Amino acid sequence: MTGSTAILASMAAHLLAAGGIAMPRIDYTAILPELILLGGMLVLVLVSSLSPRPLPTEAYATATVGIGIASLVASLVLWRDVSDHGPFTAVARAVNVDGFGVLFLVLVSCILVVAPLLAAGHLRREGVGGCEYYVLALISGSGAMFMATANDLVLIFLALEILSIPLYILAGFDHLRESSGEAAMKYFVLGAFSSAIFVYGIALTYGATGSTNLAQIAAFLARNVVTSDGVLLGGLALLLVGFAFKVAAVPFHMWTPDVYQGSPTPATGFMASMAKAGGFAALLRVFVTTFPTLRGTWQPAIWVIAVLTLVLGAVVALVQSDVKRMLAYSSINHAGFVLLGLQAATARGVAGSVFYLFTYSFLVLGSFAVVSAVGGKGDERHGLERYRGLGRRQPALAVTFAVLLLAQAGAPFTTGFFAKFYVVEAAVSAHSYALAAVAMGTAAVAAFFYLRLVFLMFSDVGRTIPTHEGAATGGTPTDTLEMPSAGGVATLVAAPVAALVEVAEPDPAIVAVSPWVAAGLVLCVATTLVFGVWPQPLVDFAHQATLII
Amino acid sequence: MTASAFGPILTAGITGGQQAFPFLTALVLVPAGAAVLVMLLPRSATWAIRAAGMAATLAVLGIAAAVLDQFQAGFGGYQMVSEHPWIAPLGISWTLGVDGISLFLVLMSAVLFPVALAGATARENPKSFTAWVLFLEAACLGSFLSIDVLLFFLFFEATLVPVYFLIAGWGHERRGYAATKFFLYTFAASAFMLVGIVSLVFIHQGQTGVTTFDIRELASTHLSGTADIVLFLSFTAAFAVKAPVFPFHTWSPDAYGESPAAGSVLLAGVMAKLGTYGIIRFDLGLFPHAVVVLAPLLLTLGVVGIIYGGIVAAVQHDLKRLVAYSSLAHLGFIVVGLFALTGESLSGAVLQMVNHGIYTAALFLLIAMIYRRRGTFAIPKLKGLQSSAPVLAAVFTVVMLASIGVPGLNGFVGEFLILSGTFLTHRWWAVAATGGVVVAAAYFLWAYQRVFHGKAEPVTGEAPFAEMTWREALVLAPLVVLIVALGVYPQPVLERITPSVDALVLHVEQAAHPRIPLAGQPVSGTLAARTSTAYSSSVTLQLGTGGERVPATRATGRETKGART
């Protein structure tokens, strides 16, 4: 990271030569959600170091959810402000509060509400208590938020590091397990490498355009025709590489399967949703608003990357026998779908990408939470065979996973369908017919490996299990999907959670699901199904994703 | 019945406006709601689950009967349209409507679902089973009733999930393979249809400035030659796999064969019709020019399907697979009828969709009864069933004869209309297809002979083959009644189908006409014949009574020829 130091030093020298550093006026309301996350993080650290005895992990999870809700409220207030009074820039034009950025603030807040719930069970089971997991998640979230609203390449870089460094640590959080440390190391080395490339891209762009401010770069490019554009294009290419690494687009995806497989499972889900949200937010903003004049140059590149990402993700996932690795490749395929919106480079495309990220975040968080539960103590039993008969042993958990998987496959009346529909629509409206067709083709391929898992879970629900197996599964079939027949609305809400909860039994086939995880899963499934049948609010919301310069 | 009544109905024509009671929405929501209800019932309450399932499907049948009652015969456009904005920013709306083409498919589905539940419900885990069947009913009815193309697509795709779970959960030995193959084939084919739908909508938006998925609006889109063909192919791929049309059928023998009985009944009876219904509703409605250009190709595939399905059926050792291949042949007939593009053949095709649903469902139910007694579908292992179960054999005979297309039973009417309509425009295809009827007679009678005739060889420790129970008879009774009734007196059905079909034929002619003649083809003469047939046949059918229907149609053919010469 010497590159970053150099560029900051040079900028400082520049400013000093111009007569001292003028501190900009800081509009704290514009960065309130970020401040809430960071402030909350500090409170967590303080509480944990001052409390006489260690608090249970659920206490920290609850606190994190509270912080997430607070930042969600702050984000929604900002959103209201933007939709009433229009977008604005703050903090010396380095922060850009527009519909697009605010949507990502909301998304990151939502992730921070759901993710702690889903992680709590895992952390208790593995005996890694303490506030660190949540603190790192909050820091990472603030980085993603800064990335989404940053209006300056330098700020984007700083935010990228704030987002990434906690993720490196989260990858290695399960320090007792060797593969976790290996994942962290891989992620860190490759991540640092890509950050360096990204910084070099910033430097070249600065050299070509004379600014790191996105608006000024765009204005410069609009006014001037760069005749010898080698430096500019080089900078653009390096920026793209840096982003592509973060969002795991092919051919910069090499780290993904290993890191996803090695990381503690809830951290994988968090990483997949948070890094993609932050990475795509900045990628979309930089390419669509800053370099629209070079669209003819970067669109074909994105086209190629999108096709590679879509195809490789879907095809390689087919041959995986480890569920975490399979989901890692499927997340690569999903990244390809989000790239469809970028390739279209239209308002519709941006809205489509935002919509996709929204729905995908819940799906991937929930999916990895189920995988974490099924993986059992030690977090290592992730083979496909582990899922055989889950539909009989724990119907509620299996149904949850099936909904999340089918939604990822794009089944109708789930958010997954509308996400795919939205980006494909954007691609077609931008006349990228071939790309849309390729994307849908890979969706069909991807359906295969989701279905394989679903089949393993449910293949024996219509069968009488032979007695020797019946003995092995003890008190099964557990009738946990049943709802109490009497009861009002409260029961309707509580019953699915109750149905999912499973205390650890002596029987090894039954996996424990803590009430926290169950609550998180119910949230994920509810958003998937409710917005799948009634997507209007989410579509309206994504429509607000307007970018300004 | 005058020409004015046919009108440019595809693009306009809502009668009655918003209905007081939203019958069509209820048709979709009742089974869906019942499915959710069943999921909430405790698993041990088997009786309540079965009762809820039957009650819901019978309620749907009741609503469907009310729709039939409200339906105005003689009007070709959509009726009882219920229109609600759903996802306004994307132009997607909840628009349901029924016309002569979909009316009887809806009714047929409404009959088959309670029959399937009553006749072939699962012993294991009836809760999930019933819920999936109800979801499937909602999705199927939604597909038949949607006027909004995207809504149709959603329902069309939504049918896959329940069927997947029905096969995977309750199927036979190779259920995993069959279920996955079924899902992937159909899912992959319809993936491209989504791109096609979106492309069409944007082309329409470019021309009119309106973003809509309403088929009545989209039908007026002007498409360039290439776009027309490509879009037609993207839609047809989905429908051809679903139907299935040769050579996209390879999933179907596996899926039909490995399904539980109810799954086969619903797959062959209802879901196969989604494919052919899609062709008539969307291919003919949206891409008439491409349909005219590519009709010979599809006709050929249809005819190949008839012959191939027949020959392969003849050599099957498995009764279920035999019916699966015979289904392929029968769907070939329907495809031929659809792409012959005469009023007569199209009416026949629509009628045949209904007929095929009824007798194939009955066949699969009968085979399931044999399986329940003997535990096998293998023809060589069955012998001489007639002597111990004469009633079952008799019912099997009636259903089989309907399937072969013997006059007086329902299979004949549809097949005859298709063949006579096709003969007018595509003579040699009709001749080849007629061969398929002979093959059908051969393989069915041969199979019947092997299974029912001869002397049963008693296997030690096996109970003698039991006669049909009252319960089983009760399940089959409505189907047998329909087989006979539709065979003897199809008039009330045809007079409701014909106006819609004629409007469609007119729509195809009008849209296709300006671009014809194509190089080196004497198309105009054919066109005249088509149009006149569309009119005269419908007029004849209107006037004729049930018993005289067949000679009347023959007269139509002569009239048309006379008119031309």
The model's pLDDT over A9-21, given as tens digits with 9 standing for 90+, comes to 666 666 666 656 6
Pair type for strands B78-87 and B14-15: parallel
Q: Within an 8 Å CB–CB cutoff, is residue A344 touching chain B?
A: no
Q: Find the residue in B nearest to A420 (Cα).
A: B194
Position with higher pLDDT, A37 vs B383 = A37
Which positions in chain B touch A433 (Cβ < 8 Å)?
195, 199
Contact B158 A543 (CB under 8 A): no
Residue length, chain B? 565
> Is pLDDT of A488 > 80?
no
Residues from chain B contacting residue A403 (CB–CB below 8 Å) = none
Beta-carbon separation of B187 and A444 below 8 A: yes
Distance from CA of B409 to the nearest CA of A (A): 37
Asked whether residue A494 carries a pLDDT value surpassing 80, the answer given is no
**Contact A462/B122, CB-based, under 8 Å?**
yes
Q: How far apart are CA A389 and CA A510, in angstroms?
A: 11
Kindly identify which residue of chain A lies nearest to residue B182, measuring between CA atoms. A448
Q: Which residues of A touch B202 (CB under 8 A)?
A: 428-429
- Average pLDDT of span A400-422: 92
- Put simply, the answer to whether B90 touches A441 (Cβ < 8 Å) is no
Tell whether A436 is within 8 A of chain B (Cβ): yes
Going by DSSP bridges, is the β-strand pair B92-98/B14-15 parallel, antiparallel, or unpaired?
unpaired
pLDDT at position B127: 84
Highest mean pLDDT among A131-145, A288-302, B458-472: A131-145
Amino acid at A109: S
CB contact under 8 A, B158 and A463: no
Question: In this complex, how many residue pairs, one in chain A and one in chain B, have their CB atoms less than 8 Å apart?
Answer: 112
DSSP state of B97: E
> Is A465 at the interface with chain B, CB within 8 A?
no
Smallest CA–CA distance from A421 into chain B, residue:
B194
For the stretch B353-411, pLDDT in tens is 999 999 999 999 988 888 888 778 888 777 777 778 888 888 888 999 898 888 888 88
Inter-chain residue contact B195 with A485, CB threshold 8 Å: no
Contact B154 A458 (CB under 8 A): no
Residue type, B553: T
Q: Compute the nearest-CA separation of A543 from chain B (Å).
A: 8
Torsional sign, CA B458, B459, B461, B462: negative
A433/B195 CB distance under 8 A? yes
Q: What is the mean pLDDT of residues B503-520?
A: 69
**Is B168 close to A455, i.e. CB distance below 8 A?**
yes
Residue A85, pLDDT above cutoff 50: yes
* Model confidence, pTM: 0.85
B204 vs A: CB within 8 A? no
* A539 contacts B87? CB cut-off 8 A: yes
Residues of B in contact with A535 (CB under 8 A): 87
Task: Give the angle B78-B282-B402 at the CA atoms, nearest 5°.
Answer: 85
Q: Using CA atoms in the order A295, A296, A297, A299, what is the torsion angle rounded to 10 degrees?
A: 70
| Chain B nearest-CA residue for A499 | B40
Cβ atoms of A274 and A298 closer than 8 Å: no
CA A83 to chain B, closest CA, distance in angstroms equals 17
Quick check: A172 and A181 in contact, CB under 8 A? yes
Count other Cβ atoms within 10 Å, centred on residue B385. 21
**pLDDT for B561 beyond 80:** no
Portion 40-99 of B in contact with A at CB < 8 A: 40-44, 86-90
Starting at the edge strand found earlier in the chain, the sheet holding B92-98 runs B14-15, B78-87, B92-98
Instruction: Give the up-direction half-sphere exposure of residue B305: CA atoms within 13 A in the CB hemisphere.
Output: 30
Is residue A192 within 8 Å of residue A186, measured between CB atoms? no
Query: Nearest residue on chain A to B124, judged by CA atoms?
Result: A462
Q: What is the mean pLDDT of residues B260-272?
A: 87
pLDDT digits (tens, 9 = 90+) for A342-378: 999 888 899 999 999 999 999 999 999 999 988 888 7
| Nearest-angstrom CA–CA distance, B64 and B59 | 8
Pairing status of strand B78-87 against strand A95-97: unpaired
Residue of A415, A433, A485, A543 best to disrupt the B interface, most CBs of B under 10 A:
A433
- Put simply, whether B135 touches A (Cβ < 8 Å) is no
The segment with the largest mean pLDDT, out of A109-123, A509-523, B111-125, is A109-123
CB B184 to CB A451 under 8 A?
yes
Q: Which two tokens stand for residue B5?
A: 């009544």
Helix axes B160-170, B251-258, angle to 10 degrees: 60
CB contact under 8 A, B161 and A411: yes
Kindly state the helix (H) or strand (E) to which residue B375 belongs, with its residue range: none
What is the structure's pLDDT at B170?
Answer: 86
Neighbours of B318 (CB within 10 A): 17
- Closest residue in B to A479 (Cα–Cα): B43
**Rounded to whole angstroms, how far apart are CA atoms A291 and A153?**
13
B194 contacts A421? CB cut-off 8 A: yes
Q: What letter does residue A294 receive in the DSSP assignment?
A: G
B161 interaction partners in chain A (CB closer than 8 Å): 406, 411
Q: Does B161 contact A479 at a Cβ distance shorter than 8 Å? A: no
All residues of chain B having their beta carbon less than 8 Å from the beta carbon of residue A424 are: 194-195, 198
Q: Do residue A428 and residue B124 have CB atoms under 8 angstroms apart?
A: no
Cα–Cα distance measured from residue A14 to residue A485, given in angstroms and rounded to the nearest whole number: 72
Which positions in chain A touch B39 (Cβ < 8 Å)?
481
Q: What is the mean pLDDT of chain B?
A: 81
List B residues 99-128 in contact with A (Cβ-Cβ < 8 A). Answer: 122, 124-125, 128
**Lowest-confidence pick of A274-283, A461-470, B55-64, B285-294:** A461-470
**pLDDT tens digits, one per residue of B4-53:** 333 344 333 444 444 567 888 888 999 999 988 888 888 888 888 888 88
Confidence band of A89 (pLDDT split at 50, 70, 90): confident
Which A-chain residues 510-539 have CB contacts (< 8 A) with chain B?
A: 535-536, 539
User: A103 vs chain B: nearest CA distance in angstroms?
Assistant: 18
Round to whole Å and give the CA distance between B156 and A23: 60
A472 touches chain B (CB under 8 A): no
CB contact under 8 A, A443 and B191: yes
- In the DSSP assignment, the letter for residue B79 is E
- pLDDT tens for each residue of B178-218: 888 888 888 888 888 999 999 999 899 888 888 889 888 88
The residue in chain A having the minimum alpha-carbon distance to the alpha carbon of residue B206 is: A429
- ipTM of predicted complex: 0.83
Residue B459 confidence class, pLDDT cut points 50, 70, 90: low
The pLDDT of residue A201: 95
Q: Is B202 on the interface with A (CB under 8 A)?
A: yes
**Interface check B173 vs A, CB under 8 A:** no
- At how many degrees (to 10) do helices A489-500 and A395-409 cross? 90
Residue ranges of domains in chain A = 28-465+508-543
Residue of B41, B198, B201, B205 to mutate, testing the A interface (most A Cβ within 10 Å of its Cβ): B198
* B173, B258 Cβ separation under 8 angstroms: yes
CB-based contact, A417 to chain B, within 8 Å: yes
- Residue ranges of domains in chain B: 18-525
Decide: A343 and A244 in contact? Cβ < 8 Å: no
Amino acid at B80: M
CB contact under 8 A, A441 and B191: yes
Three-class secondary structure of residue A210 per DSSP: coil
For B420-455, give the DSSP string.
HHHHHH-HHHHHHHHHHHHHHHHHHHHHHHHHHSS-
